[in-house]
Amino acid sequence: MPDCPICGKPVVKPTPGAPRGAYPFCSDRCRQVDLGRWFDGRYAIPAEEAEPDEDDPRDGRG
């Protein structure tokens, strides 16, 4: 029996053909918690840093 990835409670695996419900979470609440983590940035991909809009003073040597 799988465990809820959020709270660790045992989750009853749904039978084939039956609606999944909140699986693999124990409840819809835990499912929402997981979704919230995505928006919270825990799983977010680091974005590229914006380049500073300044001219390089060392440019034009010679």
Binding site residues, Zn ion, CB under 5 A? 4, 6-7, 9, 26, 30
Closer by beta carbon to Zn ion, 42 or else 61: 42
Closer by beta carbon to Zn ion, 14 or else 62: 14
- Kindly state the smallest distance separating residue 17's Cβ from Zn ion, in Å: 24
DSSP secondary structure string for all residues of the chain: --B-TTT--B-PPPPTTS--TTTTSSSHHHHHHHHHHHHHTSSPPPPPPPPP----TT-S--
- Kindly state the smallest distance separating residue 23's Cβ from Zn ion, in Å: 11
